[in-house]
Amino acid sequence: MDIDLTVSEKSTFFRFLVLYLGSSFILMLIVAILYFQNEKTLYTDLIKSEMQNITSKVSNEIIYSHMMGSKFEKEKYLESKQYQISFYDFTKRKLYGTLDEKIDFTKKFTFKDDEVILVDNSTVGHLGIEYVVLKDTSLNFKIEKLKISILWMFLLSCIFVSFIGFYLSKLFLKPLKEEREKLNNFIKDTTHELNTPISAIMMSSENEELNSKQIQRIRLSAKRISEIYKDLTYIFLEEKEKTKELKEIDISKIIKEQIDGFEPLYSKKRIEVEIKVENMKYMILEDDFIRLFNNLFSNAIKYNKLNGKIEIILKDKTLIIKDWGIGIKEEKIKDIYNRYYRATSLNGGFGLGLNIVNMICKKYNIKIEVSSQENIGTTFKLLLN
């Protein structure tokens, strides 16, 4: 996953990564140490149990040989490579065996440098043997093998956790980057949207005496700037007219007035506007309804075809705005109300209009339905309950 990050995002990314990996490594180290101690204790207990089994077997053979008058076959024990063994009389003098070190006969088990020595006196003097001393030399080898295994497990776990941490860090930063890119694109689009009408005003006002065409262009550009300003303030400055009281307004009258205001725009594209509006009053702030209708109607103009058509219907508490324009791809319809989303890069815009429409509809519990076919047209239906 390749993500370009800003300096501050990189700083946050690495701080999170260091904190995550540092805490994870410390936790894994503690777990590894505890696991090692537990396994070492387990290995020691198993060796002690095995040593007791061996000395018990040796003692039984010594006692049996003495009682039956047979030979005690000590060679098979003395030649063992797994352990060392020696036999002592009651004076603690070594009779024979492979152990040469000094033995502490007061302790049953003695631990020295990961070696275990067991002193067994269960022979009770048979064959002159009072003590059987057994030394296991395999514990040190097992402990070293355990250390290597744990070290490999720790290193592999660190690599795995590092990969997961790196992936999660980028995954967490991805939405932030996407929002930053949306904001950057929004700023660019806003600059472009404002530049077009401003340039038109500047060019049209260069002459001291303006003709009707230049005046019309200035009016259109000023109206466009006004619409952009209203959309931006509604979204970002939250000018929702909360202090005004709701009252019934004649929305059929407002629709006709707003359509007249857009006449220069749709006339320029030679769009036919068919109006089928019944008289209807509705409880809504006038500015909210104007903003709602203007965004839908301006989109119908903006994304329409040359010599296209728009149909406005207000009937049975239902407002329908239908255009014969470029349409919307079916898979994109679900996203059209998202802020900054643009289903097409054609004809400008910066993805606020339908987001505002959706906000106003939610505010007044207006159900909005949309149907569209690419290259055929789009229909918005508002159920004004």
Q: pTM for the full model?
A: 0.50
> Of the ranges 89-103, 219-233, 286-300, 360-374, which one carries the lowest mean pLDDT score?
219-233
Does residue 194 or residue 15 have the better pLDDT?
15
Would you say 366 and 383 are in contact if contact means Cβ atoms under 8 Å apart? yes
Within the chain, where are the H helices?
Answer: 7-68, 75-78, 138-204, 212-236, 251-261, 263-268, 286-302, 353-363
Q: What tokens were used for 239? A: 């000018």
Average pLDDT in the 89-100 region?
89
What six digits make up the tokens of 282?
């509705």
The one-character DSSP state at 186 is H
CB-count burial class (<10 Å; 0-12, 13-18, 19+) for 381: middle
Picking from 151-160, 259-268, 337-346, 351-360, which range would have the lowest pLDDT averaged per residue? 337-346
pLDDT of 181 over the 90 cut = no
In this prediction, residue 1 carries a pLDDT of: 45
Parallel/antiparallel/unpaired status of strands 248-250 and 94-97? unpaired
Supply the DSSP string of 138-173, one letter for each residue: HHHHHHHHHHHHHHHHHHHHHHHHHHHHHHHHHHHH
pLDDT digits (tens, 9 = 90+) for 200-244: 778 777 777 777 777 777 777 787 777 777 777 776 665 544 556
Q: Give the residue among 322, 361, 326, 356 at the shortest CA–CA distance from 340.
A: 356
Could you report the per-residue pLDDT of 183-193, keeping only the tens digit for each?
776 677 677 66
Return the residue matching tokens 């508490």: 317
CB of 123 closer than 8 Å to CB of 55: no
pLDDT of residue 340: 65
CA distances from 325 to 16, 105, 301, 361 (A): 49, 102, 8, 23
Q: Which domains does the chain have, with CATH numbers?
A: 7-142 (no CATH), 246-383 (3.30.565.10)
pLDDT in tens, 2-50: 556 667 767 777 787 788 888 888 998 999 999 888 988 888 888 889 9
198: its two tokens: 């401003």
